[in-house]
Structure 1
Amino acid sequence: MTAESHGFELPWAIEQFRTRAGDEFMDSSLPLMAVVLGSGLGGFAESIESPTAIRYDSIPGLSASTASGHRGEFLLGWIDSVRVLAMAGRLHAYEGHSIDELTRPMAVMAGMRPSAVVVSCAAGGLNPRFRVGDLVLIDEHIGMLHGQMGAFGADRPSVLSPSSNPNLSETVFANAFRCGRPTCDNGFAEAASRAAREGGFRLSLGTYLAVSGPNYETRAECRMMKSWGADLVGMSTVPEVALASRAGLRTLSIGVVTNMAIPDSPATAAHEDVLAVSNAAGKNLESVVRAIARSLVQEQGNG
């Protein structure tokens, strides 16, 4: 299967960025950061300077986002002297998308060869040491989307070639998106930790478990997930960060603890509460993203 055969052409999609955002953005020598904004975290989009918005479904082969709190747009602009390509909202398996379909927006961003990929998400806290509102750096993950452990069988157009090459390879990825590359960049993790110390907010490390959803987990499922070693549970992130990492990009994933998924707790999760907590944590997430942006500028200067 090629990209063209299922209606999604990576070179054409990237060319839409040039058409809409212009040569000034596309040809700039400033570092490029790709950011994925999960449930309730779209407030960060307001801090992007001179943004150009491109709806996912305006690009053939990409679908509109239907989940509450997800705008379903690419935003191209600037923040702290770096270029930003943001996904304001994402696609989910529970919206009826295959793994291939829900990772196409990330494939487009990866095709731009960003210097950093930061993926954020809302998540339920399984670790009793966490508190609602905490940020958690995801240093490991467990993928159980569509009932599959780790391997996501889907053909994927290669995003390994630089976007400056007009003839992007149509070679497909192997059947498994999982690879041995780390998905938590040490330099970005250090920058995030500094931002947390300076900002006075909590930042932990944890393992994220991705499930299909859309239902929140039962008490029995929470017990099972904890026994697997999961600290967080959510409905996204793993396919996106696995694809970006496989493409050789430096990645960092951040979960916002929006509810505590404690087996014996009487509390129940509601999507409205998840959005409210995510919005409140947005400033802390913005501090982390800005710290990583500054680290990219410093690295470019040292280079």
Structure 2
Amino acid sequence: MPYTYGEYQEIAAFLKEKIAFAPEVALILGTSLGPFAQEIEHSACVEYADIPHFLRSTAPGHAGKLIFGTVAGKRVVCMSGRFHSYEGYAFEQLALPVRVFKLLGAKTTILTNAAGAVNTGYKPGDIMLLKDHIKFTGASPLRGPNLDEFGPRFFDTSEMYTPELRQLALRCAEGSGLTVHEGVYFFYTGPQFETPAEIRAVRLLGGDVVGMSTVTEALTAAHCSMPLLAMSVVTNMAAGVLPQRLSSEEVEAAAMAAAPKFSAYVKKIIEAL
């Protein structure tokens, strides 16, 4: 069942009692990208299990806690561990974190994920800034009664991945040692990796990377009119691109290897906001 506006308010009120500031920036970290949390100064943590009405993160590599503190002088709330539809959650439930961040006062949302490369010009360790996405699943996190307090029933998504933030991120990539692209994220629900035939279809349709997250949070941010930056860490070549099998261990190891440079990059972006 979708959350009521009153339940969102209850969650936000509980968290406001735990922290002494309103966050400026909200971050949601993807698979094995939790080491960025070490960049947060003066941090305080709240376990998901302690938050009323909150969901639980069950995916490997997702810590399951909210971290409040500062990064480069900016007040942040960081979600270390996200929620996915493949964990059994309804799409309507996945609107939860971004709407709570909105009520806490966050002005900008940054999303990260680990993704498989469909574009053969990409390689593991590269970063892709999302300029658009493709989602063919019929479900939406905004299905059900509209909560006018967050946004209108029908809303525009043509620039949901904020162009100004992408330009800022491209400038911050200079000297980072990272190869940074702009491209299209193709959403599959998982939890199974895509088939080689599905990846060929994704390439024909214009997808550059493929993953199982991010899009629900991005749509919620767009509904809330929140500026949004979303980034994929390329952890592997997608199914059928190379003559080898895929594994979650490969994804997690590649994400962890990329984490130090990527964390420094995200910190530089936050500093420049």
- Which moves more between the two structures, 149-158 or 263-272? 149-158
Partner Cα distance (1:217, 1:182) in 2: 27
> How many angstroms apart in 2 are the aligned matches of 1:113 and 1:227?
40
Structure 1 residue 96 corresponds to structure 2 residue 88:
yes
Taking structure 1 as reference, are residues 107 and 159 closer, same or farther at Cα in structure 2, changes over 3 Å only? farther
Q: How far did 1:159 drift? A: 5.3
Q: 1:86 aligns with which of 57, 78, 93?
A: 78
- Shift in Å, 1:272: 1.3
- Provide the rounded CA distance (Å) in 1 between the counterparts of 2:174 and 2:144: 41
The Cα RMSD (Å) is 2.2
1:229: Cα distance to partner?
Answer: 0.8
CA gap 1:114/1:159 in 2 versus in 1, 3 angstroms: farther
Aligned match of 1:182 in 159, 179, 191? 159
Whole-Å separation in 1 of the counterparts to 2:56 and 2:143: 23
Q: Does 1:236 align with 2:228?
A: no
Structure 1, unpaired ranges of 5+: 161-171, 297-303
Per-residue CA shift, 1:17-63, capped at 9, x if unaligned?
221113xx23xxxx711111000101101111121111223223221
User: Structure 2 residue aligned with 1:113, among 105, 122, 125?
Assistant: 105
Residue in 2 that maps onto 1:12:
10
Whole-Å Cα distance in 2 between the matches of residues 151 and 9 of structure 1? 16
Aligned mates of 1:262, 1:217 — CA distance in 2: 6
Q: Does 1:274 align with 2:272?
A: no
Total equivalences in the alignment: 273
CA displacement, residues 120-163 of structure 1 (integer Å, 9 cap, x when unaligned)? 0011100000000110001000123xx31778523454553xxx
Q: Give the conservation status (yes or no) of the 8 Å contact 2:184–2:207.
A: yes
Cα deviation for residue 15 of structure 1 reads: 1.4
Q: 1:219 to 1:98 in 2, by over 3 A?
A: same
Higher alpha-carbon deviation: 73-82 or 112-121 = 112-121
1:164 maps to: none
Between the aligned partners of 1:2 and 1:205, the Cα distance in structure 2 is: 33
Distance 1:236 1:156, change over 3 A: farther
Displacement of 1:290 after TM fit?
A: 2.0
Query: What one-letter code is carried by the residue in structure 1 that aligns with 2:264?
Result: S
Instruction: Tell me, in whole angstroms, the C-alpha distance in 1 between the residues paired with 2:139 and 2:126.
Output: 27
Counterpart position of 2:119? 127
- Describe how 1:282-297 pairs up with structure 2 within 5 A: 282-296=259-273
TM-score, normalised to structure 2, is: 0.92
Distance 1:87 1:201 in 2: 24
Cα pair 2:141 2:220 within 8 Å, conserved: no
Which residue in the other structure is 2:185 paired with?
208
Please report how far the alpha carbon of residue 284 of structure 1 lies from its aligned counterpart in structure 2 after TM superposition.
3.0
Partner residue of 2:143?
153
Q: Structure 1 CA distance, aligned partners of 2:2 and 2:61? A: 33
- C-alpha displacement at 1:2, in angstroms? 7.6
CA–CA distance in structure 1, aligned partners of residues 229 and 112 of structure 2: 9
Q: Structure 1 vs Structure 2: percent identity of aligned residues? A: 30
SS for the counterpart of 1:198 is coil
Cα distance change of structure 1 residues 36 and 128 upon mapping to structure 2, 3 Å threshold: same
Q: Determine if contact 1:39/1:68 at 8 Å carries over to the other structure.
A: yes
The answer to whether the Cα contact below 8 Å between 2:91 and 2:141 also exists between their aligned partners in 1 is no
Q: How many angstroms does 1:193 deviate by?
A: 1.5
Please identify, of 286-295 and 12-21, the stretch whose mean Cα deviation from structure 2 is larger: 286-295
Cα distance in 2 for partners of 1:271, 1:44 equals: 20
- Relative to the length of structure 1, the TM-score reads 0.83
